[in-house]
Structure 1
Amino acid sequence: MKRNAAILAIVLLVAAAIFVQIGKKNEKQTAAPTQTGPRPGMFVPSFSLPDLDGKPYQVGGARDKPLILNFWASWCGPCKMEVPDLIDLQTKYGDKVDLVAINVTSQDDEQKARAFAKEYGINFPVLLDEPGKVSESFKFLAIPTSFLVDKNGVVQEVVNLLPKAEWEKKIKALIKGR
């Protein structure tokens, strides 16, 4: 009887160990989705989108100034919270950094995007991503999402909604090339 209990205990321990190993293997396989959009250290994809006046705006490659690409939508509550700070930051740092807002028009209404830009008095270029291909290529998970890009066209950081003081720190670092 003791022998059967010992054998049963060993079998249960081996089964538990196998179960744990299988669980760890599956956990490693499903831990994080693969993201193929631009991340820090990668070049920002080249693209051209129309601004609110229909003029094409080109992004990609080296620039005279660092660049902030801000993806947003008119229905987005955090975007509404963020835009006054971005307007102030554009006024303060616009001569040292380019700020460009990209409306995720494929998930928004163009007229609402235009009304939003007018209502808030956005003082930087607003681009319309009607087909959604540019937004899709950046593989972000939420809006607002901003890509901070250095003069060489390399993504330095990807951020979401930030307090104005944090934005200032990040912009100053981007300007200094850190």
Structure 2
Amino acid sequence: MDDRPPHLSRRSTLASLLGSAVLPFLSRPGLAQSDDRPPVFETARHQFIIVRPSKILPPVSLTDINGKPATLAPTPGKILLVNIWATWCEACRVDLPLLERLQNVAGGRVNVAAVSIDKTDRQQVKRYLQKAAIRALPIYLDPEGRLANKSTDNPGRLPIYGMPLTYLVTPSGRIAGYMAGVADWLAKDGQELLAYYASA
């Protein structure tokens, strides 16, 4: 008997059967314009919020899950989703697997970077990821808040408005907006939003 939640089982099955066809909207040209009116992407509790004015996300020096220096930066021509999370975040246990599935299915068009803001040692972060069965998602560590923090005196590049929080960075490197809470970017409206920014 399959003990996985039904919606995850269906999505996994669909992805395995259809491959890249799960993302029909990503095959269309991007629609983003200077007036920036993207399609609505929402969950029961949150919706995608546009950041104005839009700013470029510069490369940020962090560390990887093994403690080695790693630079987080947009890849030209690809959307970058930067997910801010922590081991004390219960909702992140649901959000991270969804993002890993997105990375596995749409990795050719979308990069996902999961950034832990934990200040504890990285072994705790590793244990959390093992329990959540996260194996392929690119993980970055930001204990000093270089990329993301809540400080008003010394804010990071990406302000934190809750947890988990996912920023969408366009293929040209601009921070388009963010989605708070757990979000399924493989849902139809999530795909439509990604398609909208695909060439922005």
Mark yes or no: TM-score above 0.5.
Answer: yes
Q: In structure 1, the residue corresponding to 2:56 is in which secondary structure?
A: coil
For 2:87 and 2:192, locate their aligned partners in 1 and report how far apart those are by CA, in whole Å: 26
Which piece of structure 1 moves more, 59-68 or 84-93? 59-68
Conserved 8 A contact 2:168-2:176: yes
1:54 Cα deviation after fit: 2.8
More helix by share: 1
Contact 2:117–2:141 under 8 Å retained in 1? yes
> What amino acid is aligned across from residue 154 of structure 1 in structure 2?
R
The Cα of 1:121 is off from its aligned counterpart by 2.1
Task: Compare relative contact order (CA 8 Å, sep 6+) and give the higher one, 1 or 2.
Answer: 2
Deviation at 1:62, TM superposition (A): 5.8
| 1:68 partner amino acid | L
Please name the residue that 1:113 is paired with.
125
Superposition pairs of residues 38-57 of structure 1, within 5 angstroms: 39-40=51-52, 41-57=54-70
Cα displacement (A) at 1:110: 2.5
Q: Does 1:131 align with 2:144?
A: yes
Once the two structures are superposed, residues 91-124 of structure 1 have per-residue CA deviations (whole angstroms, 9 ceiling, x without a partner) of: 1111211100000123x55322111222322412
Once structures 1 and 2 are overlaid, which stretch shifts more, 65-74 or 129-138?
129-138
| Residue of structure 1 in register with 2:94 after alignment | 81
Provide the rounded CA distance (Å) in 1 between the counterparts of 2:169 and 2:71: 14
Structure 1, unaligned runs of 5 or more: 1-37
SS of the residue corresponding to residue 148 of structure 2 reads: helix
Tell me which amino acid in the other structure corresponds to 1:69.
V
Report the structure number with the largest CA radius of gyration. Answer: 1
Aligned residue for 1:141? Answer: 161
Kept after mapping to 2: 8 A contact 1:105/1:132 = no
Across the aligned residues of Structure 1 and Structure 2, the Cα RMSD in angstroms comes to 2.3
CA distance in 1, matches of 2:80, 2:112: 6
- TM-score, normalised with respect to structure 1: 0.68
SS at match of 1:67: strand
Indicate conservation of the 8 Å contact 1:89/1:168, yes or no. no
Gaps in structure 2 of 5+ consecutive residues: 1-49, 150-155
The aligned length equals 139
Report the Cα distance in structure 1 between the residues aligned to 2:114 and 2:121, rounded to whole angstroms.
15
Distance 1:122 1:39, change over 3 A: farther
Sequence identity, in percent? 24
Amino acid across the alignment from 2:192: K
What is the rounded CA distance, in whole Å, between the counterparts of 1:174 and 1:81 in structure 2?
25
Instruction: Tell me what 2:181 maps to.
Output: 161
Matched AA of 2:163: I
Amino acid at match of 1:143: M
Cα distance between partner residues in 2 of 1:45 and 1:140: 17
